[in-house]
Structure formats: structure tokens, C-alpha cells
Amino acid sequence: AQKITQTQPGMFVQEKEAVTLDCTYDTSDPSYGLFWYKQPSSGEMIFLIYQGSYDQQNATEGRYSLNFQKARKSANLVISASQLGDSAMYFCAMRTTGFQKLVFGTGTRLLVSP
């Protein structure tokens, strides 16, 4: 079975600080992809970053980076220099070659304060 676990229901960070959102996953498929999505209050899911299971380096996209620790089955999202506009729900998701659907975690609500 494929499973994503996000243990932080809510996180608080001050503007310009860095924050790490945790994600652990479980799969027996050796080939998989890990995704992070942002869902602001408007409701739309916005793709942030992707990490493939065979990628040697951690993915980075601007202020977003993915701390991929394969042995620990973790794929934490790091947001550097937080901005007020980063306040949103963040979902970690996984897709395996055996199951093309995305399996989502329950999300983490991030609140960035001035």
C-alpha cells in the first residue's frame, strides 16, 4: 500500500525565516515520485516541487527545496526566507509506477507572521 504521512497539522513561522514541513512515505515500489503542492485559501492546488526516487540530488525550485532521505523514507519541504504569501495548506503526495494516481497526505497548514 502507498501511504503519505504529514505529522504537523499546523506550523508557524516568522517572515524571512526558513521552515521545514515534514513528510514521510511508505511504498514497496522502487520507482516513485514525490510531489509537494500548495493550496492557498482560494482552493487551487499549486505544484511546487518534484523528486524522483532515482534522483541523486535533492530537488530545488527557487525558495523551495526538498530534503530527500531515501533510507528514512522522508521528503521534507524546506521553504527559505518565508513570505506572507506562503501562508497556505501544503500537501505532500506520491505517485508510483504501479499506481498512477497521486496519494496525498493530510496536509500542513503554514501561517507566516510579520
Partner 1 sequence: GAGVSQSPSNKVTEKGKDVELRCDPISGHTALYWYRQSLGQGLEFLIYFQGNSAPDKSGLPSDRFSAERTGGSVSTLTIQRTQQEDSAVYLCASSFTTSNYEQYFGPGTRLTVT
**86 three-class SS:** helix
Q: How many residues lie near partner 1 (CB under 8 A)? A: 23
Cβ-based neighbours of 50, under 8 Å, separated by 6 or more: 33, 34, 35, 59
Q: Where are the beta strands (DSSP E) in the chain?
A: 3-5, 10-14, 19-21, 24-26, 32-39, 46-52, 60-61, 64-69, 74-79, 88-96, 103-104, 108-113
Q: Does 47 bind partner 1 (CB under 8 A)?
A: yes
Instruction: From 21-29, 46-54, 62-70, 76-84, give the range in contact with partner 1 by CB under 8 A.
Output: 46-54
Instruction: From 15-23, 33-41, 64-72, 77-85, give the range in contact with partner 1 by CB under 8 A.
Output: 33-41
Asked if residues 88 and 39 have their Cβ atoms less than 8 Å apart, the reply is yes
- With CB under 8 A as the contact rule, the residue among 8, 11, 22, 50 that binds partner 1 is 50
Residue 54, C-alpha cell as written in the block? 532515482
- Binding to partner 1 (CB under 8 A) within 82-101 occurs at 91, 93, 95, 100-101
Name the residue nearer to partner 1 (CB basis): 12 or 47: 47
Instruction: From 12-20, 22-30, 35-43, 71-79, give the range in contact with partner 1 by CB under 8 A.
Output: 35-43
